Structure 1
Amino acid sequence: MKINKIIYLILASFLLVFTACDSIVDEQNLTDSTDVAGVELIATQSTPGGNKITLKMASPGITGYWDYNLGQALTNEVTVVYPIPGKSTFTYVGSLGSKFFTKTIDVQIDQLDTRLDQDYYDLVSENTAAGKTWVFDGTAGSGKLWWFMSPPGSPDGAMTAWWNAGDCCGPSDATGKMHFDLDKGANFNHYETQTATPTKGSFELDPVNKKLTIIGSKMLGYAAGNKDGVYTIVTLTADKMVLYLSNNEANATGWTFVFKPQ
């Protein structure tokens, strides 16, 4: 009998120990501090219609970042000098607590009264609305390097010619032109010849990463271009522009384009 009592006491002790060791779980579910409609976005321009813009997400308890089209800012407030006139849409991407969201705000830019990166003026001229026309810096038989095959992989070899294609058999638009301007938008026109009807598109200039992207149209010398329209800027001054592709679709080599203002 004593043995049974001892066994019972031991079992009871184990039960007490295990009960005491059970963890207490405090389940906390993420809750939203507001809904998307309650997220307040504010855009403030330094002057009426000006291109220096402060973007602010003013609602408490929200975290996220701004996508201002030319880049991203991992903060609730950012000031940018925006280069494109007209109506632009800026996006805030954030978390309400339990879910992610995006919300946009439109800003009308009527004047570029805060100076841009110098690359914009070299590309489109100081008269940004009138813009600037570029042509190839050379013609067939001139011996100049203006449209040629170059080493792939890096712009470091952009001016090394593997084949001076332009000197013998240039592109169909060798005598054409292209025009850039910032008149109510980032406008780009490609002309197959000097008098041809233009193919209209737009452009994006990235001075930091040295990229020029042509959207909805063709770059001069497009026979050696890429469908994505993204070119590396090797040189961009007021009187010379050199662009490079590391792997053009036509030849799977590098290709270099050299332009001058008309």
Structure 2
Amino acid sequence: MKRNKIIYSLFIGLMMLMIGSCDSIVDEQYLENSTDVAGVELVAKQNDAKGNLIELSMNTPGVTGYWDYNLGKALTNKVEIVYPIPGTSTFTFTGTLGAEFFEKTIDVTIDVLDTPLEQDWYDLVSEATSAGKTWVFDGGPASDGRLWWFMSDPNNAWAVWWNAAGDCCPPADAAGKMKFDLDGAANYSYYSGPDATPVKGSFVLDVENQTLTLTGASLLGSMDGGGNAGVFRIMELTEDKMVLFVPDAAWATGWTWIFRPE
């Protein structure tokens, strides 16, 4: 009997040891804010003339994030941009304080465009950037056998699968026009016909990635073809010609647009 008690005591001790060894030791760590939103310092540097070469910086240690300067994003705390729009613009820094995300803005006033823009801007909106530039289809408005609005290979903007406008079926807005200007903002106006009331929108020209994004209004021909997502690849942009393309238009094809200045 005594032997059984000893074995029982050893068994209980062993079980207690096993249970104790199964208890995990958790070192709980919590993220903490290094500062508050008010403590985040945003700085914009320009020359004395308030020109359009701007250095945007977030100077608070322990905070990370990115800049949204309306025409693009910079995944860094500091970025230098040549901004094409005179007047007062608002730039946004999005980041983390440590335990939470935040957004903070800074206003910058540009009085003069004393730093030249990249050529694509002038080609799109003209050198009179506030007055802007109007574009129309490079053909039509009736079918004329030319290439100006056509179904293309998804991998090749110039490989014609069906010359829609040239052969038989131009878009309903083939006689329309569209205007791009930088009068206080990146403004886009769509006209379904020569005398139509404009539909107002905005645009983003990404020179580095060669894309044109439209918001709030359609591109000419996009309602009847592809491109309703509003993002177009720039295949060619000169003072006299603009060629846009989407690889994923209607019916799993590509679609190509060719425009000229009005």
TM norm. shorter chain > 0.5: yes
Map Cα deviations across residues 18-51 of structure 1 (whole Å, 9 max, x no partner): xxxxxx9986654333211111111122344422
Alpha-carbon distance between aligned partners in 1 of 2:174 and 2:254, rounded to the nearest angstrom: 19
Map Cα deviations across residues 197-237 of structure 1 (whole Å, 9 max, x no partner): 22221111111111111111121113213332111111111
The alpha-carbon distance between structure 1 residues 168 and 27, as it changes in their structure 2 partners (threshold 3 A), is: closer
The alpha-carbon distance between structure 1 residues 56 and 157, as it changes in their structure 2 partners (threshold 3 A), is: closer
**What SS does structure 1 have at the residue aligned with 2:124?**
helix
Q: In structure 2, what is the equivalent of residue 189 of structure 1?
A: 189
Matches within 5 A, 1:68-83: 68-83=69-84
Alpha-carbon distance between aligned partners in 2 of 1:186 and 1:40, rounded to the nearest angstrom: 27
Q: TM-score, normalised by structure 1?
A: 0.82
The alpha-carbon distance between structure 1 residues 260 and 244, as it changes in their structure 2 partners (threshold 3 A), is: same
Q: In structure 1, what is the equivalent of residue 116 of structure 2?
A: 115
The alpha-carbon distance between structure 1 residues 115 and 31, as it changes in their structure 2 partners (threshold 3 A), is: same
Q: In structure 2, what is the equivalent of residue 255 of structure 1?
A: 255
**What SS does structure 1 have at the residue aligned with 2:160?**
coil
Q: In structure 2, what is the equivalent of residue 245 of structure 1?
A: 246
Aligned-partner residue type, residue 123 of structure 1: L
Aligned-partner residue type, residue 199 of structure 1: V
Aligned-partner residue type, residue 82 of structure 1: Y
Map Cα deviations across residues 111-169 of structure 1 (whole Å, 9 max, x no partner): 32211111111111111111111111112342210111111xx4524342433334322
CA RMSD of aligned residues (A): 3.3
Alpha-carbon distance between aligned partners in 1 of 2:218 and 2:63, rounded to the nearest angstrom: 42
Alpha-carbon distance between aligned partners in 2 of 1:159 and 1:123, rounded to the nearest angstrom: 25
Q: In structure 2, what is the equivalent of residue 219 of structure 1?
A: 219
CA contact (8 A) 1:213 1:229 kept: yes
Identity of aligned residues (%): 60
Matches within 5 A, 1:1-262: 29-139=30-140, 140-151=142-153, 154=154, 156-222=156-222, 223-249=224-250, 251-262=251-262
Map Cα deviations across residues 48-106 of structure 1 (whole Å, 9 max, x no partner): 44221111112233233323233333332221112233432222222323333222212
Alpha-carbon distance between aligned partners in 2 of 1:167 and 1:85, rounded to the nearest angstrom: 44
Aligned-partner residue type, residue 126 of structure 2: S
The alpha-carbon distance between structure 1 residues 245 and 75, as it changes in their structure 2 partners (threshold 3 A), is: closer
Alpha-carbon distance between aligned partners in 2 of 1:81 and 1:34, rounded to the nearest angstrom: 31
**What SS does structure 2 have at the residue aligned with 1:169?**
coil
CA contact (8 A) 1:50 1:109 kept: yes
Aligned-partner residue type, residue 58 of structure 1: N
CA contact (8 A) 1:146 1:257 kept: yes
Alpha-carbon distance between aligned partners in 2 of 1:25 and 1:187, rounded to the nearest angstrom: 56
Which ranges of structure 1 fall in alignment gaps of 5 or more residues?
A: 1-23
Alpha-carbon distance between aligned partners in 1 of 2:261 and 2:190, rounded to the nearest angstrom: 14
Aligned length: 259
Alpha-carbon distance between aligned partners in 1 of 2:199 and 2:32, rounded to the nearest angstrom: 51
Q: Displacement, 1:261?
A: 0.9
The alpha-carbon distance between structure 1 residues 193 and 100, as it changes in their structure 2 partners (threshold 3 A), is: closer
CA contact (8 A) 1:158 1:255 kept: no
The alpha-carbon distance between structure 1 residues 86 and 225, as it changes in their structure 2 partners (threshold 3 A), is: farther
**What SS does structure 2 have at the residue aligned with 1:123?**
helix
Q: In structure 2, what is the equivalent of residue 8 of structure 1?
A: none
Which ranges of structure 2 fall in alignment gaps of 5 or more residues?
A: 1-24
The alpha-carbon distance between structure 1 residues 33 and 158, as it changes in their structure 2 partners (threshold 3 A), is: same
Alpha-carbon distance between aligned partners in 2 of 1:39 and 1:51, rounded to the nearest angstrom: 24
